[in-house]
A and B are shown apart, each in its own frame.
Chain A
Amino acid sequence: MEKSPVLVAAVTLTGLIVLGFALPDWAQFLMTIALAKGLVSLGIVAGMRCGVVSFGQGLYFCLGAYTAGLMSRWTGVTDVFLLTFLSVIVAGGVGVIFGPLLSRYRGIFFAMLSLSLSMILFGALAKTTSLGGTDGVNVAAPTFAGYAPEGGALATALYLFIVTVTVIIGTVMRIVFDSQSGLVSLAVRSNELRVEYLGSSANGIVAVSYVIAAILGGVGGVVTALAIGHVDPEYAFWTTSGEFVFVAILAGYLSIPAVFVASIVLEVVRSFSNLYFPNTWQLVLGVFLLVVILVRPDGIGSIKLWRRRESAGAAEPSA
């Protein structure tokens, strides 16, 4: 039985909203950050489905975050919907410029060139004192179409916002992954020569996935900035991008919920390690990553692949 994606979305959304009211403040905040960053990793997953891994999504995460910070500072715009929309325009716009250039590359070139792009933004922001230099800028508290909550209500409002955005984007991406275009992406991952000889552009497909990833990165950045209330150039630093890749690898490219679960796992590990072993949390992360790569190279979402293979075997005629 195929489940309707809209039904799944409605159930998930309801569950997450209920969960939000049940969670203590710190966990609610952790969820907000984890889901926002999960969106960035979901963008990397979209690329992985065409066979490329972007090590530079910090670029778009940072662009989204600074869009929120600078708009509130320069124009006084604090509306979360408008800020998200603007971030999509900025991040998507930059993605449209670099997508076609990067789509000529694969493998480590794609990974490292995308990383270089994010480091350019990092360098530019760190050097630009009018944008706060390495200290960054503070982000004003967001408003929600005129509603201006404070304190706990603000945190909850932001949680509800990111939950809704996550479920909508997750559902749309599920539909895209299951679409004809989504299947052709997997074909590019497998054999792009064949894709070219069927009459489609492998580079074009990679470029589109890059733009999608840019937009998701921008949305993740804007929400993270609003939740934390501060942005700095570290958002574009390559180690930030590395964490997004970490989550994408942990999740694998088959399951969308797995991406967000992996992101939550990362944030939980980070906050506990920060509390109890402030100087070794990266070590924990590194060991974790190596274990995942060694034990389950397709990520935690790959459980689904096994199921698919089994069902494929079951559908085999007995003759």
Chain B
Amino acid sequence: MPAAVPQSNRDEPESHPPARGAGVLRDWIILVFASIHALKLLAGVIPEASRPVPVPHELAQAYEALTGSKQRWTMFETIPSYHKWRSRLVITTPDGRTRELGPLLPGFQEWMEPAPVRLYVQNERLFSGDHSPVMREACLRRLDDELRGRGLIAPGERWHLETLEDFTRHLVHIGRDGRLYERRVNRHEPPPAPAGERMEAR
């Protein structure tokens, strides 16, 4: 009777020379790392906000940052809210007339159609959520610097950024009249001048 052929996906310890020194140490390191990482991954099934006991330990956070293993799978988070989301720069002259510019740097480009996902999520998170006030302010300051640096704003003119947020209406209401969204326009003013900068210069 022929000997059973080992299945290719089974362990074949006889095919390996017995490990010594460095091999044993390497396997220990693998075991420790893999066990820690596996436990960390499994704990990630429960989202951070829902964990009964948060793990605020700095070491754990540093490990997540260094290994890129932070688990936050919030895909589709904002989808139910928006039918569309756009923004534009509005410049108002001293006599009240307005003109518009594309809001995307460099070069005050217009939004692309259809909007690439990354552009859409970045701008929506920048201006409609509370994700990053620091980045929002920095972005507005960049726009201000660029407008003034390129001479696109004359003395006495003012500018602001408008977000055009088209909220999807309730399905029942859409079914009644076919109108898909309600538009809300939000206004973001340029940040105040940094300390020490004279207003006349702006």
Q: Do these two chains really belong together in a complex?
A: no
Interface residues of A (CB under 8 A from B): none
Interface residues of B (CB under 8 A from A): none
